[in-house]
Amino acid sequence: MAESVVSSVGQTLGKLLIDEAKLLWGVEGKVKGLQKELKLIQGFLRDADVRGEREQAVGVWVVQLQDIAYDAEDIIERYILRITLKKKGRNIIIAYAWFVAKCMCWHVHQVGTEIDDLKTSISNLTTRMRDFGIQPVNDGERKQVRALMPEPTYAYFEEDIVGREDSIKVLVEVLKDEKQHRVVSIWGMGGLGKTTLAKKVFAHDELKSNFDGFAWACVSKNFNKREILMGIFKMLIPEKREVVKDMSDQELFEALYQIQKEKRCIVFLDDIWTKQDWKDIRAAFPVMNTRSKVLITTRNKEVAECIDPHGFLYEPLCLSEEETWKLLMKRIFPKTEKITDNTKRLGEELLKKCGGLPLAVKVLGGLLATNEWEEIYRNINSYLGGDDDVSKVLALSYDDLAWYLKPCFLYLASFPEDEEILVKKVLHMWIAEGFVSPTAYGEEREITVEDVAKRHLMELANRGMVQVQFTMSGKLKTCHLHDVMRELCISKARQGRFLSILNIQQDHEMEECSSSMGTEGESTCKTRRLSLNMRVSAERNTTLGVEQIGRTMLHLRTLMFFCSGGSEEGMWDQFQPIFINCKFLRVLKLEDLSMRGNLPESVGDLVHLRFLSLAGSEIEGLPKSMGNLVCMEFLDLQVREWMMFAVPDVLWKLRRLRYLYLPYSFDVTGKPHEYRKKLRLGTLKNLRTLRNFCPDNCDVKDVGKPTNLQKLRVINSKRMEIFPQLAEFKLKNLQSSSFGFREFPSINEGEWSKTSSYPYSRKLYIRGVKIEKLPEHQYLPQNLMKLVLFWSELKEDPMPILEKLQHLVVLLLGGDAFVGEEMVCSAGGFPQLKHLLLDYLPNLEEWRVAEGAMPHLSRLGISRCPKLKAVPQLEGVSTYDGREDVYSEYDKDWV
């Protein structure tokens, strides 16, 4: 871990030497010398990091070197901050000359002395490590082995299921039985594959025709009762999803109870930990005199028996030797390959250490796919201490990670247990923290930092350490840690003093789950990352204990808030110490906070901030000081949809912005006499994603300025002029475009032809436009992979035109997108289509699919098509109620 920190700091210093050269005047040579020292010790740390796990003295030195690296970064960034603040608000030429004459010499001397002290400390520690026998390690061979890893694909990351065929059959039959066993419990130790088994059962084709409603929720250790029940409500009663937020807890319980009595529903509750967890939610689930079923997973047999003493209890067996070998081969060799007798013998010996647990086998597969098998065998056997063999396998999987992957893995412990983490968000956080370097894989070809971050995540998934989910079009969507892997992640974060996790209760108490206070007597002042879980009572507002954090944890790089429960108002005074004192913050996550008012002016002092997200919060606006945050790269202002947000016209100053998510509804604040002032965005030439662009509040011409713009989402547009206006810009890098209209304008064929001006666009979403008739397919972007149409009111069958799009993978027609009665798909049509969703086509009566049409279709979602007489029989196609996917697309993921 220390190597990761030292390398990251070295890269940061190098970047500062390039980007902030004028601000490092006078200390540039000292910084270069420090960067060189940090680079020299990386080789020692490759050996020391591993030995530090078992040798106390080495472990202490490693932690000290890690702290020195952090201190180096603090010193340089503090120096830059002082200069920035001195210059702020003054005439740049006069003030800079005055500053140099009066203050520079003192600051240069102070920083030079601090850097010299750090270099001396590094030299002393390096000497001690060399005397102890620690030698520099060359990482070239390891990189060469990693290059041989199989290329990850969507199919490769589908849940592997081996040796559970009989279990699936038994559980499906029990669930189909209407007369007995209202509750079916799968129980057993962590890593046994309970959730994977339950998911396979829950999605089984034989259950689809036996139940009217399907819902699932992950309960986990620290679940929020209301959020769990609201999620289940939305899945069982999707047509009323908008009213659920206004329901009381009692109304929510009654509604869920009643729907499961009236209809035959199946609810999957994953990972229930205690009897009390069930008692908190059981009023929503009838277990007597009902045809509905509840499927649960738990580690605790007593919990399963408590839920229903007459329920069906099922404990999956550990995998046999033959089954573990089969699963290992699926992980290592997605394509059949031969192995030698000696390799097989080593593999069988290693598999014995997995104890038949599927999770351990998958992780072992990740190790064996990237290393020599003899080396893994030696390393596992060399582990000391009382850890069981399974723990050794998991621990070795972490130790074997490249230095650039370790902080990425540990960062995932910041998120609550069982949370489905949005991939794009966590990748942005990794980049903002400085964990991702374009040169991590030593490639000469040009590669973006985003591509490297995705590759990091895929490598962690390839190793079985992170589980990933994909979008309908096969892109990375979410990731999460298995609870056993999360325990390992938290343990390693604690050892490396990487992260603190604090739970703040409603009674002001703090519970520390993972501490960065590793050495005796050390305070939290050196905490670099903090995940703060705030549980607030719905009946009683409380002042959260954040003030102490802002006064003591002065070196924070990342601060994440996870809030559940009631609302908090008037709390910004509590946050002031954070904004004033935590000057080194790079990542600030203020999501889902029920706090009103604007962000305070003091947020503008966080000049090193690179990532800020207010998603889902009730914050009402930004201060003008936001213009000071010139390092900002990722800014998410998507507060709750129903809120009107105040945005000062200062975002144009944030010239490094790469991702800008504007609010759904906002006013541009300025001088009182300026009516309908527009937000200036023309200077943001580095933008790659621009969401919620509204022509009423922004100048359409500004969209043409960012030459690397890849994703564009336009909302609340009144007229169709947006198409020809955007077509003028020749957005060569545009891959995804989304358009939402609020007054249902009509579009003619000439305006449609403008969309073909985006030849590289792969995704297109249009909502609220009366199209009536599609143009010929040549007037649509020819590289389209995903097309979503809502409320289009097409009168003519769209299939003869859309089926000619050669690259279309996902097609969604929803909300009266087609108002005709008949659709026909011709032979050879839709050659690449894999996922088709048809929702709310109330007039559709007949749908014919010729043989040879849609040859690659694998998923067909049909919902709310009441007049449809029959669904075509398509071999190998999974048919399901696609309402949840439709609502997901409609609500937020347009691009």
Q: How many CA atoms lie within 13 A of 243 on its CB side?
A: 7
Instruction: Give pLDDT, residue 147.
Output: 37
CB 226 within 8 A of CB 252: yes
CA dihedral 427→431→433→438, nearest 10 degrees, is 130
In angstroms, rounded to a whole number, what is the distance separating the alpha carbons of residues 556 and 77?
13
Q: How far is C-alpha 540 from the geometric centre of its chain's CA atoms?
A: 32
The 10 Å Cβ neighbour count of residue 428 is 24
- Using alpha carbons, select from 566, 565, 525, 569 the residue that is nearest to residue 548: 525
What burial class does residue 423 get, using C-beta atoms within 10 Å of its C-beta: 0-12 exposed, 13-18 middle, 19+ buried? buried
Side chain identity, residue 85: L
Length of the chain (residues): 895
Question: What 8-state DSSP symbol labels residue 846?
Answer: E
Q: How many CA atoms lie within 13 A of 10 on its CB side?
A: 20
Six-digit token pair at 288? 């007597």
Instruction: Give pLDDT, residue 728.
Output: 74
Where would I find the beta strands (DSSP E) of 761-858? Answer: 763-767, 786-790, 810-814, 822-825, 835-839, 846-849
The 10 Å Cβ neighbour count of residue 411 is 24
Backbone angles phi, psi at 368, to 5 degrees: -70, -25
CB 847 within 8 A of CB 829: no
Note the pTM of the prediction, 2 decimals: 0.85
In angstroms, rounded to a whole number, what is the distance separating the alpha carbons of residues 403 and 139?
10
Six-digit token pair at 463? 């190793």
The 10 Å Cβ neighbour count of residue 131 is 8
CB 879 within 8 A of CB 854: no
- Residue 124 makes CB contacts below 8 A (sequence gap 6+) with none
H or E segment and range at residue 587: strand 587-589
CB 226 within 8 A of CB 249: yes
Determine the straight-line distance between the first and last CA of the chain, rounded to whole angstroms: 36
Instruction: Give pLDDT, residue 100.
Output: 45
The region, left, alpha or beta by phi > 0 then psi within -120 to 50, assigned to residue 483 is alpha
Instruction: Give pLDDT, residue 769.
Output: 80
In angstroms, rounded to a whole number, what is the distance separating the alpha carbons of residues 695 and 716?
8
Q: How far is CA 553 from each of CA 40, 457, 589, 632, 667, rounded to the nearest angstrom?
A: 30, 29, 16, 22, 35
- Residue 888 makes CB contacts below 8 A (sequence gap 6+) with none
Could you give the 3-state DSSP secondary structure of residue 257? helix
Going 662 to 663 to 669 to 674, the CA torsion angle's sign is positive
What DSSP assignment string belongs to 196-254?
HHHHHHHT-HHHHTT-SEEEEEE--TT--HHHHHHHHHHHHSGGGTTTGGGS-HHHHHH
Instruction: Give the chain's domains with CATH numbers.
Output: 2-138 (no CATH), 165-314 (3.40.50.300), 320-488 (1.10.10.10), 718-727+735-895 (3.80.10.10)
In angstroms, rounded to a whole number, what is the distance separating the alpha carbons of residues 385 and 392?
10
Could you give the 3-state DSSP secondary structure of residue 453? helix
Question: What 8-state DSSP symbol labels residue 788?
Answer: E
**Neighbouring-strand partners of residue 217:** 269
In angstroms, rounded to a whole number, what is the distance separating the alpha carbons of residues 601 and 579?
9
Q: How far is CA 532 from each of CA 145, 516, 554, 564, 747, rounded to the nearest angstrom?
A: 39, 14, 15, 11, 49
Instruction: Give pLDDT, residue 371.
Output: 84
Instruction: Give pLDDT, residue 93.
Output: 41
In angstroms, rounded to a whole number, what is the distance separating the alpha carbons of residues 290 and 705?
61
């590094």: which residue's tokens? Answer: 122
Ordered mean pLDDT values, 10 residues apiece, the chain (895 residues): 62 60 63 72 64 62 75 74 56 44 56 76 76 61 40 48 88 89 92 90 85 88 84 86 84 92 92 90 88 92 89 92 90 67 88 91 88 86 69 87 90 90 95 85 73 92 90 85 91 85 60 42 64 63 59 84 62 79 90 86 90 93 93 94 90 95 88 66 94 90 88 81 72 82 66 59 82 81 88 92 94 92 95 93 94 92 90 83 72 47
Question: What 8-state DSSP symbol labels residue 559?
Answer: E
In angstroms, rounded to a whole number, what is the distance separating the alpha carbons of residues 715 and 694?
5
3-state helix, strand, coil in the chain (%, to 5): 40, 15, 40
Side chain identity, residue 170: V
**Neighbouring-strand partners of residue 218:** 270
In angstroms, rounded to a whole number, what is the distance separating the alpha carbons of residues 633 and 651?
11
Edge-to-edge strands, sheet with 467-470: 421-422, 476-480, 467-470
Could you give the 3-state DSSP secondary structure of residue 536? strand
Instruction: Give pLDDT, residue 409.
Output: 95
In angstroms, rounded to a whole number, what is the distance separating the alpha carbons of residues 527 and 72?
15
CB 41 within 8 A of CB 137: no
Could you give the 3-state DSSP secondary structure of residue 577? helix
Question: What 8-state DSSP symbol labels residue 317?
Answer: P
CB 54 within 8 A of CB 384: yes
In angstroms, rounded to a whole number, what is the distance separating the alpha carbons of residues 661 and 422?
15
Instruction: Give pLDDT, residue 90.
Output: 47
The 10 Å Cβ neighbour count of residue 72 is 25
**Neighbouring-strand partners of residue 738:** 713, 765
- Residue 779 makes CB contacts below 8 A (sequence gap 6+) with 749, 752, 753, 755, 756
**Neighbouring-strand partners of residue 501:** 514, 531
